[in-house]
Amino acid sequence: MTDVDKPLEGITVVELGHSVAAPYAGLILADLGARVIKVENPKSGDYARGWGPPFWNGTASVFHSLNRGKEGITVDFGDPRDCEELKSLILEKADAVIQNLRPGILEKFGLTAETLRAEKPSLIWCDIGAFGSKGPLASKPGYDPLAQASTGIMSVTGEGGRPPVRVGVSLIDMGSGMWAVIGLLTALLARKSSGEGRIVSTSLYETGLAWMTVPLAGYAASGEVRKPYGSGTAEIAPYQAFEASDGWLMIAAGNDNLFRKLCGALQLEALARDPDFATNAARVINRERLIPQIQTAVCRYSVEALGKILDEAGVPNAPLLTTDQVAVHPQTRAIEMTARCDDDDIELVGIPLTFDGTRPRARSPAPALGQHNAGLRTSATKGTASAK
């Protein structure tokens, strides 16, 4: 990565984080060129180190995927000297702090946004909480599936009449990390003119509610509680996966013109002329009669054959791929979303951004527990001494 591909070069971020949300925010910032210093417990480290199998070089692949490109130190919050060194590091080196520790943890050790910003007003502090800073759930611990459950996401995921289904990736955690980065970058921009930092706050619950923007708007407009539609969506039909003779194909006929094209491709022209299906609103109302007729037509084709027919007709579609298929797909390779770190052979996903066609990417592997203790602590101690 060249200097032109490091828009955040010169920015130092201290990550007081574990699991997914704060580490993912730190990963984004590291790929954008920031120096990210990850702080871990000296005994257990980040919980994600043990989230396996699979493991890579003795550490869970989860941890590698979220923490490459960072420096790593350990801090024992029960040791006053460690806390003082961390405080010195933040005051001397950090432009920003990202934290997603349990409420009340940092207050015990005088490492709060208010305390540190009183000594360093330019510091930007990013809190990633569980349920927000106020309200009846403010002190409740939170994890991705709890937020998916409590914000309604699980209620619109899966299939009606069946057990609840969690979205299969850490959607809330990673989304919260993204919001933290958006807030941090906004604060950096504002600091250029004011010289002042600020406290940026988000939470898993707020992120979950943000993902529920469309279902909540539907409820506000109609009072209707939407049920889950499997691979489909409540507002559009047909807009879901259909089973072909050898697999599944997602078909997205997102407007009336695309529906007519779909009917032509499947030799179902009569459906396109039927007033019960002529508009999306009508198709949504009559979904239960429409979908089986499309499914009957789809199952006559293989996924590949139907994909080609729909491509030629101009109907958006995609096969449902498994993880191994996605990893080696020509499109994944063409956009260079995965890469190896220096001196490591594991393929890890980058961030979904390019600048002038170049994807920013930090190349150093995830740090070993406490890997950079000596250098950073010596640096922080010297900085404090010279300041005095």
For residue 277, which of 234, 233, 241, 237 has the smallest C-alpha distance? 237
Class (C level, CATH) for 3-211+333-387 = alpha beta
Give me the mean pLDDT over the 265-282 stretch.
97
> What proportions of the chain, in percent to the nearest 5, are helix, strand and coil?
45, 15, 40
Q: For residue 384, what pLDDT is reported?
A: 42
Q: Is the pLDDT of residue 328 over 60?
A: yes
> What is the location of CATH 3.30.1540.10 in the chain?
239-243+248-319
Please give the helix or strand (H or E) that residue 15 lies within, else none: strand 12-16
Q: Is the pLDDT of residue 145 over 60?
A: yes
> What is the location of CATH 3.40.50.10540 in the chain?
3-211+333-387
Give me the mean pLDDT over the 156-172 stretch.
95
Give me the mean pLDDT over the 199-215 stretch.
97
Which amino acid is located at 206 in the chain? E
How big is the chain, counted in residues? 388
Please give the helix or strand (H or E) that residue 251 lies within, else none: strand 248-252
Give me the mean pLDDT over the 227-241 stretch.
95
For 85-140, what is each residue's pLDDT tens digit?
999 999 999 999 999 998 888 988 889 999 999 999 999 999 999 999 899 999 89
Ordered DSSP codes for 176-203: HHHHHHHHHHHHHHHHHHH----EEEEE
Give me the mean pLDDT over the 357-377 stretch.
90
The structure's pTM equals 0.93
Per-residue tokens: 42: 């000296």
- Catalytic residue list: 173
Lowest average pLDDT, out of 178-187, 313-322, 339-348, goes to 339-348
Q: For residue 303, what pLDDT is reported?
A: 98
Class (C level, CATH) for 239-243+248-319 = alpha beta
**If you search the block for the tokens 């203790």, which residue do you land on?**
373
Give me the mean pLDDT over the 312-335 stretch.
97
Cα dihedral angle (250, 252, 253, 255), rounded to 10 degrees? Answer: 170
Q: For residue 376, what pLDDT is reported?
A: 66
Instruction: Tell me the pLDDT band of 379, cut-offs 50, 70 and 90.
Output: low
